[in-house]
Each structure stands twice: as C-alpha cells, then as structure tokens.
A and B are shown apart, each in its own frame.
Chain A
Amino acid sequence: MKQNLKKINIYSNLLNDAVDSFEDFNSVSNSLEEFSSALKSDLDVNAFFKSKTIEVEQKINLFSNAVSSSMNEILFEVLKVVIENDDINLISHIANNFVLLSKEKLNIAFVDVTSSADINSSHKNDIKNSLSELINKQIKINFEIDSSLIGGLKIKVDDKLYDSSLQTKLENAKSKLVGV
C-alpha cells in the first residue's frame, strides 16, 4: 500500500510539474478521466492492460495507436511508463491526486451549478464570469438541471455549497413554522 502511495505521488507530481496553464490542466485532467472511465467501463480493455501474459510492447503499441493523436504529449509519455510498470490499476488515484495538486498550483476551483430549468449559454457565461471574479479563481464549471429545486440556484464551489433554491427556502420555512 505504501509502495503504491509513493508511486501515485511520483506520477501525479510529474504531471503537476508539467502542467502550466488552465488549458493544459483541462486537457490532461479530461484525458485522464476519459482513460480511467474507459478502463472501468470496458472490461476487455481493462483485462488487456492488466494481463500478465501480453507483452508490454504490445500494450504500448495498441495504446499509442489508439490515443497518440488526441492526447496531451506529457500525459501520453507518463501513461506509457505507467503501462510499462504495470501500474494501470492506479490510474484513478493518479487522476485524483493530480487534480488536487494542480488545483492548488493553478488556483482553480471546481464549480457545480444546479438549476431548476435549462440556462441559456449567455447566462451560463455570465454566471461563470461573475463567479470567477467573485472567488478570484479560474473555474472549471459544470451545469446540471434538477427540477425539484423549483427555482433559484445551487452553486457548489469545491466544498462549499451556496444554496438559494426555492426548495431549500421552503423547507427552512417549514421547519421554522412547524418547529420540527
């Protein structure tokens, strides 16, 4: 376990050192996530990379052919080493650790915005810009729709949840009035 933690730290630190901009971070983290979810969802791919009988060269060849054009160069090289060392089962941990490190380094916040109905793109942009200004960070934003909110917004910035939804306000009012 300790050995694995060390390896995760080495891989993620390397990636973190190589990433200098928000764009780089976005492309690396997205690709890592895609690769990790592909491994999780496709059992054949998973079995192929974890197999002890298939040669490492064969694995790397297939990997190179499949992703080389679309993937960030540094990540591509790092993943090749990961495959070489048979550490493919650490991918999701590496991804998590990398995000944690780079978030700190590049001053990035992860924001989830939940609304009761679809928001048009100009509003989305407004929300993104004003939030970014407000918290003084670059933000990676994700919009979701949940009709049970009735109205208002729920904005989650990293670990903080700002809830101005009508649903929560009604629930608060109910608990105050009923005394439950």
Chain B
Amino acid sequence: MDIKTNEIGNLLRSQIQNINDNVDVNEVGEVLEIGDGVARTSGLGSVMSSELVEFPNNVFGMALNLEEENVGAVLFGDSSLVKEGDTVKRTGKVVEVPVGKELLGRVVDPLGQPMDGKGPINAKETLPIERKALGVMQRFPVKEPLQTGLKSIDSMIPIGRGQRELIIGDRQTGKSAIAIDTIINQKSTHETDSPVYCVYVAVGQKASTVAKLVAELESNGAMEYTTVVVANASDPAPLQYIAPYSGSAMGEYYRDNGMHGLIVYDDLSKQATAYRQMSLVLRRPPGREAFPGDVFYLHSRLLERASKLSEDLGSGSLTALPVIETQEGDVSAYIPTNVISITDGQIYLDTNLFNGGVRPAVDVGLSVSRVGGSAQIKAMKKIAGKLRLDLAQFRELEAFAKFASDLDESTAAQITRGRRMVEILKQNQYVPMSTEKQVAIIYAASQGYLDDVELESVKEFEVGLLEHFETKHKDCLKELKKSGDISDDLGSKMNKAIEEFKKSF
C-alpha cells in the first residue's frame, strides 16, 4: 500500500485538534471496601440504578444497590486492580452496547467490546442493555415459521418468528447442538427477502467450547449473519449476568428495524447461578435454592423482550431460544419451572434417548410448542398430525413389544411404523434439512412406504429418496416450496416418485 506521509501528518493533526481540551468534570466517590467482585463506595449521591461507573485501571462496574449511606457496585473487570480508597467516577449513562449489522461476524464481550482481534467495531448506534419489553398493542401473534432444519422439531414442535421456545435437558444431551443447527439453518433465509440475523449468547461456558463453536459456525458460513456474545466461565459473575441482556439489545435492533432476529441464550441456568452469586455478595436476602427473590423477574423480563411486532412497527421479530440445563432430568427444580412457565413451549431432551442413539434426543411426549402451530406451513401441518399420532401410539405399545412375542397384526403394524418414524426423525449434527425435503421424507413414512423397508436400511432409503427427488423430481420439491401445501395432484406425483424409487431400492 502506498503511504503518503503528508496525509498521515494532516490526518493526525486534524484528529489531535479535535480532541477536547476542556477540563474533565466528573462526579466521584470513594471505594470503601472491595471483595468478591463487588465494591461498596461512598459518595456518588445521584448515581442511577444500573449506571456504568468507572474505577481506576480501566475497570468498569455497574451501580446496583443504592443504599442510604453507600452504593454497591458490581465489577466487570479484575477486582484486584481496584483497592480501598480508589476514586470511582460516574459515567452518567446506563450500561449500553453497540448494535447494528456492524456486529455481524464478530465475537464480543457483554459490553460490546471485540474479542476476536478483528479491530474496533464501528457501530453507529448503541442501545441500553436493560430495556422494557413491548406492550400488548405493539405486538402481533406469531405467524411466520422459523425453521430449525431439524425434522423432529419443525414437524412436531414448530417454532414461529417471535416465539420463545425453551431447550431443556440434562448435560450432554445436545441442547447447544439444536441451537447451533438452527442458526446454521438460517443461512437459507438469507436468499429470501426476510433473512434472520442471529445472536448467540454463551454464558459460563468453557472458552474452548466457545472457540470450537465459532469455528463451526464459520466453517458452515453462519458467522456472516451471526454475532457471538461471550461471558466465559472465568469471567466475573456480573458479566455473565448481563450477557443475555446485551445479546437481547443486539437482537432487538433487528426486530425494531423491521428485520428478523434469532437469539440463543446458552444457558440461562448459568446466568441464574451468576446472579445468585452476585446477589449473595451484595447481601440481598436468599430465597429458595439460595436464589434471590427476583430471580423469576431476571428471566421473565429478558424473555419478554422476544416478540413479533405489529405491522405499524414494521413487522419485525425476535425469536428466543433459551437453554436450561437440568440435573438428573429434574424439571421441577426452581429455575427450570420458572423458565418453562415464561416460555411458549419447550423442547425436552432426554438422556436415555440420546444414549439410545436417537439424536436429536427430543422427547416428543414432553415437548410442546404453544404458538408455533399457527406458523407452520400447511404441508407440514398435514403430515405432522399423523406423525404425532403414530409416535404416540408407538410409545404406548413399545413397552408391550418388549415382552410379547406374538402380537396381533394391527399392533405389530403400529410398532413397525413407529420404529421407522423414530428412525427418520434421527438427524446428524450440522446438517439441517430444508422444509420441502423434510416434508418429502415424513410424507413417505406416514404413507407407509417405509413399513417394509428394513430398519437398518431406513437411513439409506431416506438419503436415496431425497437424492431421487433432487435429481428426477425436482419439480415436486419446487412446488412444495412454492405452495407450501400438498395438493391432491402433488400428492399423487409424490406417491409416484416414491414408488418409482422403491422399485430401484
């Protein structure tokens, strides 16, 4: 690159001239005591709740407990850099983060500072991390689907844009995998006129896990439309506490500007734990499981921010996928029950299913989507009803099948159908499937075309059939995509195509 020395000189001169030479005026206080990431300060008489305060050595904090004689502030940085007697400055603004498309493809901390070494983020706008959720009149019922690309979810637990769907399960059951697959699947929306921008909030996770995840998103081309907000396990509890709110503010930018956003909070149990630590250190009274009294509000005010906006406000949406980790499958613990009651449904992942090779390990019986049904495309709705019924009957009969060797014909048929259904709902990680392909394979199974296929060959059949559709009957897939419905005509065309493939299989 050609460097012109005069230009650099002039540029520097103009920048230096622009620097404000006025006296710095700040309202200050003094650190009375510091420990466990919390500072008690005197002074700061007119500080606001949640205001950002500045300590020496570039450590920032947030004023939380405004008491008569002192102010309790939580630190976002290394508390060993702050000592008793240090000066603390008011900044006059509540905690804000940069928002906008400039953040896409970036990994940031909960204060919006870049962590990926790709240089500063030149966002034009900022938003406060704590914002009031929208009222009733500004909202609109969920009506557009948000495809996860996972057959079991898109068919039976459909998610709509603006919905809050909880992903819940024990450790190592593939909770994050579902969220990541959903983000990867949004790539296809970027070829349409309503793209979905994603925000992934990693709370209390290992830095190595997050690094792996970012690499995975990058290799799948998903980072182009995604922002990752990271508060690692080693970060101070206050950062882990604010991370979901920061991510939410970033997601709300898309919603408020008539676009569509998807936000994943992975996971909120760790955020609640961080909040518990912070509250106990701030000497707020502990309640059930030692969580403070406002732990419900902690999550409800966060999840209420996900919404579908009315047409007057631009029809934008923000869909939230909070993740909660249970202990030994106990969904009746404090935090899981709270979040279940706030969200519009949950995807329950089961350890036994996971270990039994059913992946994603979605327990269809316990999972539910309260509003997504209205957002499902007609074709999927038609076949999903049958699929749900087949699976429910199969689950009831499955127990008998283990004991009885000779079953009557209809029971045996139901078990055969159920087993094949379970088999086709299995899906590998990082390979989300388009809706029309999902419809095609589930349609084939629900019409009984797989009943006489060996269980071990179901996967092979699925791959072959989809390839067959792709190569020889692309018009079927196109029509499915275009109309979103299976008309009688299309149905018979599909039947023909499946029969044709079966002959060669």
Binding site for B on A (CB under 8 A): 156, 159-164, 168-169, 172-173, 176-177, 179-180
Contact = CB atoms under 8 A, between A and B. Distances in A.
Interface string B63-103: 00000000000000000000000010100000000000000
B134 to A, nearest CB: 34
Q: How big is the B interface, by class?
A: 20 to 34
A172 B20 contact: yes
A163 B19 contact: no
A160 B27 CA distance: 4
16 contacts: A159-B28, A160-B27, A161-B24, A161-B25, A161-B26, A161-B89, A162-B23, A162-B24, A162-B25, A164-B24, A168-B24, A172-B20, A177-B15, A177-B16, A177-B19, A180-B120
Contacts of B29: 159
B195 interface: no
Contact of A159 (B15, B44, B120): B44
B43 interface: yes
Contacts of B20: 172
Contacts, number: 43
A159 B24 contact: no
B43 A159 contact: yes
Interface of B: 12, 15-16, 18-21, 23-29, 43-45, 87, 89, 120
B23 A156 contact: no
A160 B15 contact: no
A169 B45 contact: no
A174 to B, nearest CB: 10
A160 B26 contact: yes
A159 B87 CA distance: 10
Contacts of A173: 16, 19
B23 A176 contact: no
A164 B25 CA distance: 9
Nearest to A178: B120
Nearest to B119: A179
B71 to A, nearest CB: 11
Nearest to B15: A177
Contacts of A168: 24
Nearest to A165: B24
B14 to A, nearest CB: 11
A172 B19 CA distance: 8
A169 B25 contact: no
Contact of B23 (A159, A163, A177, A180): A163
